[in-house]
Structures are given as structure tokens and as C-alpha cells.
Amino acid sequence: MAETTPGDTSVASDGCGCTVAVKFDGATPAYRRVLLTVIAINFIAFMALVGGAWVQGSASLAANSLDFLADSATYAISLWAIGKAVRVRAGAALLKGASLGLLAVGILVFAVWRAVSGAPPEGEVITGLGLFGFVANAVAAVLLVRYREGDANVRSVWLCTRNDLIESLAVAGAGLLVWLTGSRWPDLAAGVILAGVFLQSAWSIVRQSRQELTDDR
């Protein structure tokens, strides 16, 4: 089968005179280098945000920092799966989708706990760290945008990065509202909304992974 390129939806022979759709599987040196860079960006961002999330007791910052850590781990799995059989790549994506769903549940539990305990976090700290996260995610998105289409393994990386951009803006906005209102509720609401975004993406990744596993039988 011919090597695929980013966004490739061409067809190739299956050896029986028929044609099958070919999706980019990430098996290029350029994509590997980009993925390694994005893994480093996410881990550095996690280290920068996790302290602020702990000190402030912020649901939105907790979501942001844990997501950076989860992305570092799951992108490493994506890197490992590149070039392997379809079932391995789809299985790796399925694992990422499941972990994203568990992360969403964890954020919801934390948000509920914060709703019944604790004082409001400092809005300016949340906004500052949210903007830092947005810059980190924007750099990652620029690197990954040409690889936004592909198999479940490749596409899951893009979906997570896209969600992270939305997430960082939501965190920054929540911090501004906390600062203006002196209430913790904007932060908690942002945490719940982000959990919903994570659940939607988890379902999308799991659905495509299951379809690829079915097609490979």
C-alpha cells in the first residue's frame, strides 16, 4: 500500500482488484517530530499549571492541568502506535477515548466537591494561567493543524488539542468572572462545561476506533 500523507483520502488496491480508502496513519518522520514536540509542550504546561490548581483549589485549573498531563501520556501512546497494525492503532485510540471519559468524570466529581466546600479562588491567577495554557495549546495546534484528518489514532491527537484551546479560553474567562463577581460559581461552571466537552470528544474517538476495529475484522 502506498504511503499516505496528511489529510489523504485517496484509494489503494486491496490486492483483489478492489479499492479501499486510505487514511493517514502518522507514519512519517515529520509527524513523529511534531508529536514529540507537542508531548513536551503539554508536559511543560502541566508542570506550570498544576501548582496553581492545587493552591487555588480551582476546578477549571484542575481540569486544565490534568488534561495537559493526560495529553502528554496519551500522545506518547499515539507515538508508540504509529506504524503498527490497524487494530493496535485503533486500540490505542480507544484507550485514549476511555481515559478522556474518565478524566471528565473526575473533573465533575471535583467540581461538585468544590461547590460544597472552600472559598473562591483568585480570579487573576486563574486567568493568567488559563492564558498561559492557551498559548501553549495554540503552538501545539499550529503544529498539528495539517494532521487534523487521518485514522482514529491521528485524529484523536487533533481533537484533544482543539479541545484544549477551547478549554484554556474557558479557564481564562472563568477567572475573569471570578475576579469580577467574587464568586466561585463561574470557575465551577467552567469545570462542568469542560467535562462535557471532554465527554463529547471521548465518544467521538471511541466511535471511530470501534468502527476501525470492526472494518479490520
Q: How far are the Cα atoms of 58, 143, 163, 184, 217 from residue 175, in angstroms, in the given order? A: 9, 28, 18, 9, 48
71, 162 contact by CB (below 8 A): no
For the segment 4-25, the average pLDDT, to the nearest whole number, is 54
Torsion, CA 164, CA 168, CA 174, CA 180, rounded to 10: -170
Query: For residue 9, how many other CB atoms are within 10 A of its CB?
Result: 11
* Alpha-helix residue ranges (DSSP H) falling in the chain: 29-56, 59-81, 86-115, 123-144, 152-181, 185-215
Beta bridge partners of 11: 21
- Give every CB contact of residue 66 below 8 A, 6+ residues apart in sequence: 46, 50, 53, 103, 106, 107
pLDDT of residue 18: 47
pLDDT of residue 143: 92
Q: What is the pTM of this model?
A: 0.69
163-205 pLDDT, tens digit per residue, is 788 878 888 888 888 888 888 788 778 778 778 877 877 887 7
Give all domains of the chain, ordered by start, each with its CATH number.
26-215 (1.20.1510)
